[in-house]
Chains A and B, each alone.
Chain A
Amino acid sequence: EAGVVQSPRYKIIEKKQPVAFWCNPISGHNTLYWYRQNLGQGPELLIRYENEEAVDDSQLPKDRFSAERLKGVDSTLKIQPAELGDSAVYLCASSLEGRGGSYGYTFGSGTRLTVV
């Protein structure tokens, strides 16, 4: 079984430029999460999807961040425009619907974003 697949692995952009991250969850996993991990910190939830619906986006900075999950499978997280403080690792995770909170979830390899 393939795990959670993320791309790109690394991204370096200049501030004010746009950037997008892509995630393909484990097959059959309805729930998809985007987390951001700053250096020396634990992951922090940005948005959670149940199928196509964003059910928790309270921590997503909506002035510059957007996300979508078309057809309830792949997801894209976008930042426009990027700021220096957005430099972090962006992690995608997935779980079977309703089970992430009980059994945990699997993370992808992450995208390391550097804004210069």
Chain B
Amino acid sequence: QKEVEQNSGPLSVPEGAIASLNCTYSDRGSQSFFWYRQYSGKSPELIMFIYSNGDKEDGRFTAQLNKASQYVSLLIRDSQPSDSATYLCAANMEYGNKLVFGAGTILRVKS
């Protein structure tokens, strides 16, 4: 079982719709969770992190965390073609000060 799992996609949504990206993790001791965006040929860029159960909003992005279900999600409201990228979920493993990444979900926003 992979430590951080994501659906590889691609997830296709029309412009203006809500994109919902999901992630599960295996280490119950994980405390912090991160969403990175990666454009093709570029390095990952941190867009949000969350460590408390519930929702955290930043502009068009909302991260959701449910530690009981070991589930993290990212909602992107009013999706734009420029949001088309791979979204990487990462968790801080309890046993080390490092992030473990999922394989990423490809998002395509169609205009």
A residues engaging B (CB < 8 A)?
A: 31, 33, 40-45, 48, 56, 89, 91, 98, 100-110
- On whether the beta carbons of A103 and B49 are closer than 8 Å, the reply is yes
Contacts of B31 in A (CB 8 A): 101-102
Tell me how far the C-beta of A9 lies from the nearest C-beta in chain B, rounded to whole angstroms: 11
- On whether the beta carbons of A104 and B96 are closer than 8 Å, the reply is no
Q: A interface, by DSSP: helix, strand, loop or mixed? A: mixed
- On whether the beta carbons of B99 and A100 are closer than 8 Å, the reply is yes
Query: In the bound complex, how far is the Cα of B34 from the Cα of A106, in angstroms?
Result: 12
Contacts of A110 in B (CB 8 A): 43
B residues engaging A (CB < 8 A)?
A: 4, 8, 31-32, 34, 36, 42-46, 49, 51, 88, 90, 92, 96-104
Tell me how far the C-beta of B96 lies from the nearest C-beta in chain A, rounded to whole angstroms: 6
Contacts of B90 in A (CB 8 A): 42, 104
Query: In the bound complex, how far is the Cα of B99 from the Cα of A100, in angstroms?
Result: 8
Query: In the bound complex, how far is the Cα of B96 from the Cα of A102, in angstroms?
Result: 11
Contacts of B104 in A (CB 8 A): 40-42
Q: Name which residue of chain B comes closest to A110, CB basis.
A: B43
- Among A43, A89, A101, point to the contact of B97 (Cβ < 8 A): A101
Contacts of B43 in A (CB 8 A): 89, 91, 107-110
Q: Name which residue of chain A comes closest to B104, CB basis.
A: A42
Q: Name which residue of chain A comes closest to B49, CB basis.
A: A104
- Among B44, B49, B92, B100, point to the contact of A107 (Cβ < 8 A): B44
- Among A40, A104, A109, point to the contact of B99 (Cβ < 8 A): A104
